[in-house]
A and B are shown apart, each in its own frame.
Chain A
């Protein structure tokens, strides 16, 4: 498998050259970062070219790098990650795209290449507020009807913003600001490199 991943990365570099903004081979998995403008062309080649044949889009997810600035590319906060799988070549590939606008992140849809992207893009829109251009049906999918905000953004509190209860006087369910406080029993700790070896 080791040579597999390396060979794939070499082929990718040969085909796309400078279009690959960043690449890595961590844990025997190939990751490349590409620009949002070239994305569709690159994905199309990856899907249809005989050397790659990534016929299956295994996963698509959005990531918010707000609290992880080292990983951002030119201060771009949002990224979309595509996981591709080639059944013919038995390869996996991860493609990362950083989105231009931090306030209103947009990206063209890939439904025309992989119809499965429909729901994945709806999910990324719902949870992170990434707008997929030309998506035919970009509705919320996982959150409640009438939900406000994008819960998987790092600045969205884990306990949420509103809570729901039945109000006997109005005889209906109403929303109110949350009454609970966020608890964090285990702090988030990042140790220096080599801490565990010492």
Chain B
């Protein structure tokens, strides 16, 4: 074979057609269990077909067979990086049915923990996104701060992740007056323990306040690593651009929508709890690419920090009830149960039969770190929902993956999955 014909043959063979490639489900950049079937033209993506459902647990069907209270912990496990926000939407739907008045202190606690959760979520997103794109350090930094926030979760609910802290009519219990402390062990000497416990001497509120003072500096640290980083910009600027009208049509919400320049945030537009009393801003992007969404989320962390410190101020000055006194929904106090027959009956009925919702249907949504997270309940008057539908923000985002990746390189796909903040707990439900 002459050299010329060899070259010709190789050229025609490369021309033949696109090939398909499997991506995931066990891939570190797939954020869990995403399986993609990619149609590739060389290294350029022509079509991406996400195969989801590998984490499908039928939460909605399970909820139909459990009382309303029994389903609360299931909500934590939906989007397992922003646990309390999921509970919040579900609890708000129940409260809508019952027309429950939530004590203001409980509302402030909820908002404070919502924002703590938002920071938790954005920190994981930031670390994972940067790691996908090739920056290792941010991940380690982000987890350092997540540790402190998990301690807040633990102090208030006893669980570091799946808190089940929000309850219909309020929250499970008031903020603790002391913070759990590190203990001296074989591996930790007294000096080190003293250092670790330095900001844990006061109450939980003191600890969170200390965090809010430290946190803006940490965000600056992340920004030094990324915002003007040449590699980071080359990987994210102009990647996965979504224009505003298309973002709306594709059902995008949250930072994905705001990154495209649409000013829409449920905390401002359809305020729930006490968000209308707080002072905060909504960051909005311009270009709708991965870099803008990154900037939006970074700014959201700063705003969340502002909201938390406002809540701390209020909570310090206003002690009070944290859960409704309506014992048909919330359990009576332990000491009452020892003497009061009616309290005993309430307790028994609440935890055996549960409470009933009136007939009807309702939908309530919160501004989840990923977008609009809502639950839709149809009740036939029983102690269990007739139908529960969870509106997960990640579901439409992932559906848009095909459109966002078309014409991009394979390595950009990873950046786009990162920017979408995919968590399979909520997408597969």
B-contacting residues of A (Cβ < 8 Å)?
24, 26-27, 29, 31, 55-59, 61, 63-64, 67-68, 70-71, 81, 83, 87, 90, 92, 94, 114-116, 118-120, 123, 140-144, 151-152, 158, 184, 186, 188-191, 193, 195-196
Among the stretches B1-9, B283-291, B382-390, the one at the interface with A is: B382-390
Residue contact B249 to A114, C-beta cutoff 8 Å: yes
Ranked 10 nearest A-B pairs via Cβ: A116-B251, A142-B53, A119-B399, A61-B389, A59-B391, A142-B56, A27-B362, A26-B360, A190-B382, A190-B381
Residue of A nearest to B354 (CB): A186
Contact status of A58 and B353, CB under 8 A, knowing A152-B61, A186-B66: no
Q: Determine if B353 and A186 form an interchain contact, defined as CB atoms under 8 angstroms apart.
A: yes
Tier of interface size on chain B = 35 or more
Tell me, yes or no, whether B344 is within 8 Å of chain A by CB. Answer: no
Give 1 or 0 for each of B389-416: 1 = CB within 8 Å of chain A CB.
Answer: 1010001101110010000000000000
Chain B residues engaging chain A, CB cutoff 8 angstroms: 52-53, 56, 58, 60-62, 64-67, 70, 96-97, 248-251, 253, 262, 264, 269-270, 328, 352-354, 356, 360-363, 365, 372, 374, 376, 378, 380-384, 386-387, 389, 391, 395-396, 398-400, 403, 428-429
Assess the A191–B61 pair: CB atoms within 8 A. no
Q: Are A90's CB and B362's CB within 8 A?
A: no
Choose among A29, A58, A63 the residue that contacts B387 (Cβ–Cβ < 8 A): A63
A158 and B363 contact, Cβ closer than 8 Å, known pairs A55-B249, A63-B378, A116-B251:
no
Complex CA–CA separation, A68 to B396 (angstroms): 30
Distance between Cα atoms of A190 and B380 in the complex (Å): 8
Can you report 22 A-B residue pairs in the complex whose CB atoms are below 8 A from each other?
A26-B362, A27-B97, A27-B360, A27-B362, A55-B248, A55-B249, A57-B251, A58-B372, A59-B363, A68-B386, A71-B380, A90-B269, A94-B363, A115-B249, A115-B250, A115-B403, A119-B399, A142-B56, A184-B65, A186-B67, A186-B383, A190-B381
Main secondary structure of the interface of B (DSSP, over half): mixed
The answer on a CB contact under 8 Å between B389 and A31 is no
Query: Are B378 and A119 interface neighbours, CB within 8 A?
Result: no
Q: How far is the CA of A188 from the CA of B387 in the complex (A)?
A: 13
* Nearest B residue (CB) for A94: B363
CA of A115 to CA of B356, assembled, Å: 37
In the complex, chain B residues whose CB is within 8 Å of the CB of A151: 58, 61
A-B contacts besides A61-B376, A120-B395, A158-B64, 7 pairs, CB < 8 Å: A29-B362, A56-B249, A63-B387, A142-B52, A142-B56, A189-B382, A196-B328
User: Are A118 and B378 CB-contacts (below 8 A) given A27-B96, A87-B264?
Assistant: no
A143 B56 Cβ-Cβ under 8 A: yes
* A81 surroundings in chain B (CB, below 8 A): 376, 389
**In whole Å, how far is A24's beta carbon from the nearest beta carbon of chain B?**
8
Say whether B396 contacts A119, CB under 8 Å.
yes
Q: Which of B250, B352, B382 lies in contact with A116, CB distance below 8 A?
A: B250
Nearest CB on A from B362, distance (A): 5
Nearest CB to that of B326 among chain A residues?
A196
Q: Which residues of the partner chain B approach A114 to less than 8 Å between Cβ atoms?
A: 249, 251
Tell me which residues across on chain B come within 8 A of A142, comparing CB atoms: 52-53, 56, 428-429
Contact pick for B248, options A87, A118, A123, CB 8 Å:
A87
Chain A contacts of B67 at CB under 8 A? 186
A58→B391 contact, CB < 8 A: yes
The answer for the CA separation of A46 and B354 in the assembled complex, in Å, is 40
Given contacts A114-B249, A186-B352, contact A143 B53 (CB under 8 A): yes
Name the one of A90, A119, A152, A196 contacting B395, with C-beta atoms under 8 angstroms: A119
Q: Which residues of A contact B52 (CB under 8 A)?
A: 141-142
Interface centre among B361, B383, B400, B428, by most chain A C-beta atoms within 10 angstroms, is B361
Q: Which of B56, B64, B389 contacts A59 (CB 8 A)?
A: B389
Q: Which of A27, A57, A59 contacts B374 (CB 8 A)?
A: A59
A90 to B365, CA, bound (A): 14
Contact B251 A158 (CB under 8 A): no
Contact of A152 among B60, B66, B384, B398 (CB under 8 A): B60
> Chain B: which residue is nearest A68 at the CB level?
B380
- Tell me the minimal C-beta distance from A90 to chain B in angstroms: 6
- Please report the C-alpha to C-alpha distance between residue A114 and residue B243 in the assembled complex, in whole angstroms: 15
CB–CB A189/B353 < 8 A: yes
Cα distance, A59 to B356, chains bound together (Å): 25
CB neighbours of B382 from chain A (8 A): 188-190
Chain A residues, Cβ within 8 Å of B249: 55-56, 114-116
Query: Assuming the A-B contacts A58-B391, A143-B53, are A191 and B250 also in contact, with contact meaning beta carbons closer than 8 angstroms in the complex?
Result: no
**A144 is contacted by which of B53, B361, B395 (Cβ under 8 Å)?**
B53
Q: How far is the CB of B422 from the nearest CB of chain A, in Å?
A: 14
A116 to chain B, nearest CB (A): 3
Instruction: Say yes or no: A56 contacts B251, CB within 8 Å.
Output: yes
Structural contact, B376 and A26, CB atoms closer than 8 A:
no
